[in-house]
Structure 1
């Protein structure tokens, strides 16, 4: 019989019996974290490997042991296939060379301690590299960003926490993101140890200052329904904007058409160049909940409005930058859609850069007011061999006059757009 890698779920403080105990007893190599290796009785002749801080070496070590006809055991806490090492290893080891021996998951144990029906909870793990505290300048590269996205989209979450990303750090992220009133915490700590602690009904502010013994599981439950906001073409007055210059904002009618021309999908990466008040990028973020929006604005007063509007509409996937394009764009991921609302005198350069960076089938939409910029943009697209279309929007809004109404025109705008092949 060929040797196997046995991925075994165990619980600290729980004895091992039967076939699982026999497998561990005859294994030539036992892999696990520091806590489990010290908690489980292992044969004196077995080689042990502490994977703490050395996760990337595990697959190679297991394959070498199996090739040498040695039995391998990998110890995991609870169910190895519930945010554990099981899924990682089964995707990397050859079929037929592994076997899973599950235990009750930590989420199940913690939920049972609280008497909590957990089938409606979204289970998530924040184990992984320590990327530090989440702050106002953090971006999608931060290890906690996927959790922040989930917190905006889910009402109940069960979290496998880690020593670095503990419930207190999660609570501090909620405060930074403006969600401090939205969730209540339940934390089961030192699960399986001799002195378990059940922390119930903790506010986010309380959790941010607390200490929790390892290991722990946190349940986050939304305390009030998520606000159901309009996503597309919000009223201009809903946005902070610089005045009296008739509002440095893409008007709602123009905004609706521009967002339609961008051809957005749920996971689109969007650039908003010359963000102004941020209205186009923020509405794009709402239309692309699985995507990312990167916005740039060079005027400090306008940038302050972008930040205020991002906070007002809880645009978690919208990342604004203060500065000039194209210098800052080099670090952004390639976009699926680009909106140019302001060019700062670099329109031709921005068009060239956008077309160079756009993903296949990506769209570029340019908002143009002056005839000179319209001519320059069309000339640039023609030089680059791009087919283009131009839509001119002449919109009027009703206004009261005495006991009647009249139509008052909004300054017209042209939307020039093209698609890369």
Structure 2
């Protein structure tokens, strides 16, 4: 079920906005029994919305920011999500409980500078033919991530650049105010 941004409890923690979230979740190719790892979970928006599609599946969300952890816990309670385990820490170092071949989807919303190690974890621990989606804002991060993906020989790589503008009322007029453009990289093992 799609969840609107305004429905999430939010603080100062970054959140994947609903238009970007909708495309990112679509690119994950979730199945009802998928197991998703949400890296850099933020407010939990991707993992929580993803969990609503996983009738027989599960989500592991990992977040290093204490404020993010609290927001995710509040949002899990608000949306009554039961198929989600929250991990406080940094990926991949704190994903010790994840066993090999135990998941088939990974969303990376933040890497804390560990992109290559996270991709290595995805390659080693995910099931064959697993899907990944990475959201990136900075051009330097985009270049670095693409270089890593090419070296690791991941398949079916697609890059989409999304620019979203939102309306803002200025007196009797409506202006469109642009959000940061986002690069959505998807592919598979």
> Structure 2-normalised TM-score?
0.94
- Provide the C-alpha distance between the structure 2 equivalents of 1:300 and 1:340, rounded to a whole number of angstroms: 18
1:268 aligns with 2:34: yes
Q: Which deviations, in whole Å up to 9, do the C-alpha atoms of 1:202-224 show, x marking residues without a partner?
A: xxxxxxxxxxxxxxxxxxxxxxx
Alignment of 1:173-184 (within 5 A): none
Q: Which deviations, in whole Å up to 9, do the C-alpha atoms of 1:165-202 show, x marking residues without a partner?
A: xxxxxxxxxxxxxxxxxxxxxxxxxxxxxxxxxxxxxx
Of 96, 117, 134, the residue aligned with 1:366 is: 134
Alignment of 1:19-418 (within 5 A): 231-232=1-2, 234-243=3-12, 248-333=14-99, 334-387=102-155, 388-418=157-187
Shift of 1:330: 2.7
Contact 1:325 1:350 in 2 (8 A): yes
Shift of 1:273: 0.4
> Structure 1-normalised TM-score?
0.43
- Provide the C-alpha distance between the structure 2 equivalents of 1:386 and 1:270, rounded to a whole number of angstroms: 18
- Structure 2 partner of 1:80: none
Shift of 1:321: 1.0
Shift of 1:401: 2.1
- Provide the C-alpha distance between the structure 1 equivalents of 2:123 and 2:179, rounded to a whole number of angstroms: 30
CA RMSD of aligned residues (A): 1.2
- Provide the C-alpha distance between the structure 2 equivalents of 1:277 and 1:372, rounded to a whole number of angstroms: 24
Contact 1:241 1:302 in 2 (8 A): no
**Which sections of structure 2, spanning at least 5 residues, go unmatched?**
none
- Provide the C-alpha distance between the structure 1 equivalents of 2:91 and 2:188, rounded to a whole number of angstroms: 21
- Provide the C-alpha distance between the structure 2 equivalents of 1:397 and 1:273, rounded to a whole number of angstroms: 27
Say which structure is richer in strand.
Answer: 2
Q: Which deviations, in whole Å up to 9, do the C-alpha atoms of 1:20-76 show, x marking residues without a partner?
A: xxxxxxxxxxxxxxxxxxxxxxxxxxxxxxxxxxxxxxxxxxxxxxxxxxxxxxxxx
- Structure 2 partner of 1:188: none
Moved over 3 A (4+): none
Shift of 1:404: 2.5
- What number of residue pairs does the alignment pair up? 186
- Structure 2 partner of 1:162: none
